Structure 1
Amino acid sequence: MPERQTPPVKLSCRHLWKVFGGLPAGFDAEADTRAAAQAMRDAGRIPAVVDADFEVGTGEIFVIMGLSGSGKSTLVRCLSRLIEPDAGEVLLDGEDILKKSAKDLVEIRRHKMGMVFQDFGLLPHLSVLENVAFPLKVQGMDEERRRRRAQEMIELVGLEGRESASPSQLSGGQQQRVGLARSLAVEPDLWFLDEPFSALDPLIRRQMQDEFLRLQQMLNKTIVFITHDFMEALRLADRIAIMKDGEIVQIGPPPEIVLRPANAYVAEFASEVPLARLLTARDVMTPGDGAGDLPKVPAGMTLDDVTAEFLRSGAPRVAVMDPERGCIGTLASEELARAVARRSGDRESA
């Protein structure tokens, strides 16, 4: 069967630097980055983003995480040029936005980028509908079209009936939904979310994560998502970039980050993750294409849920199904148990 195609690159970040205090004279981008960053610190400068280099595919949720002060929010602001980087490139659909004029940048933000931040940023004197329609008004869209589009987005995020409410009349979760709807109203190609759920209570936060995943399944946006919560990153991400002291120390899909941490800093994040809630049937299956009469489970089903399927069906083996490729492997109950035990041991010895 044909392999799944790698999605085209939407965003490329190439050797990006942001140094508060400015780059030193004679800065050499080819030099050892850690040594250069340390020399800047010794000289009283603050290297907030150190040689960041990665790509984000179309439709990918790329999560950037790290502890407070690691540089993750500075990085996402550099990607959108809310903060001007000191060196490097940021390519959106192959064009370097760092070379765009102020006028061109305004147009890119109005039409290609959506941004959601922790504080929601709602205008308190406007209704829900007016808040969602506001960026369309800035674009110059006529009133009828922007109200229709805003109404569609309000329904998309589940706020029907609250169109006339003011932000002060909404709960925190409802305010966040308005922020999501407003950023989606412009139909962005690229969606930046900086700790959007961190101010919410745990239950509402979980609900908003569910809502976010539902929206992504429908809209297939290219997303750069910032968080300091590792469990949130694991739940949402296609890939995770972990930052420390302005540097990206590891990039990979969630299972790789947990099972093969690059260093002790990453391993500390992953130390309490229950593997059966993270690993999927795809991660531990025996590859093959013979489904036969076996019970079928989705390739992305967690091992917790696969275990429940074994108990329900009583079958000794299941077929692992990919929505595009059909059967891609099989998994026996004893293989599942051995895989979790082996990989837990691997992680403990990492």
Structure 2
Amino acid sequence: MSPGGTGPTTLAQLGEFALIAELVRDLPASDDVLLGPGDDGAVLDVGGSVVVSTDVLVEGVHFRRDWSGPADVGRKAVAVNVADVEAMGARPQGIVVGFSAPGDTEVRWVLDLAAGLRAECDAARVNLLGGDTTRGRDVTLSVTALGTLDGRAPVRRDGARPGDELAVVGRLGWAAAGLLVLSRGFRSPRAVVDVQRVPQVPYGQGAVAARAGATSMVDVSDGLLADLGHVARASGVVIDVRTGAVAIDEPLQTVGAATRVDPLLLVLTGGEDHALAATFPPGRVPPGWTVIGAVGARQDDGPGVTVDGAPFAGVPGFDHFRPGARR
């Protein structure tokens, strides 16, 4: 198990229960945790309604080991799940992790992944509560995140109303630009590659939006237009994105020039940034958020999302089961 080779070096040699002992060793816990790893389940003091969300990360679909180090994979697994709890306006509290891997996986790789899990838990201010391990064909992580609303109502997707302002916080298009670069065999600009490997979730902003009176909110995971489409359909409105208000950051311009891909397309349809998009009554957008559009009344046969007042002609985002879909 040790880097010097004095102990087991693969999961098959180490064994399941020794691995679990390593993964949960000296886990920190906040006052919200009444019972941590070691029993059949963890116990949280949530003080009210609980928000629960689950995501699965599969090797070859959500990450590649030749593109991302184990700590990156661990951090990403936390980030993408906590972002969903943030999108409900909740305060994330803890996660549990299901992990599978082939028996010949190096123990050092798994321990580095666990270090990434812990590092991102620290960044997100959540507790790693435990989970399960098993043998599998590929490396897979299933993470369930839990959070508390602290007495507030959840911010749902069906609350947007005509007259609301559309605003975002976090980066848009960076992860898609990083994927584009990596797919072509390059590793720069480093800034977008890093965001593709580890999303930079605007932690804490979900609760900020809720306190400011957000009427709806969504985690931008599959593309801005695609995810706004969920809000528009649930709310029965049309959401118009104004491209003049959308920032095209310098790294995106660099990638666009090198690949001949319109950087605006990356911003509008690129996924995996895990920014937050929300609608607010006029004048209620909190500091740090950027207004990029507005909500209007939807016609019976009209589109749910428009760009500068017109329907978007392309594919609005990622769908795992669309023919030919790939990250």
Using the size of structure 2 for normalisation, the TM-score is: 0.27
Structure having the higher Rg:
1
- The structure whose residues are more often helix, as a share, is 1
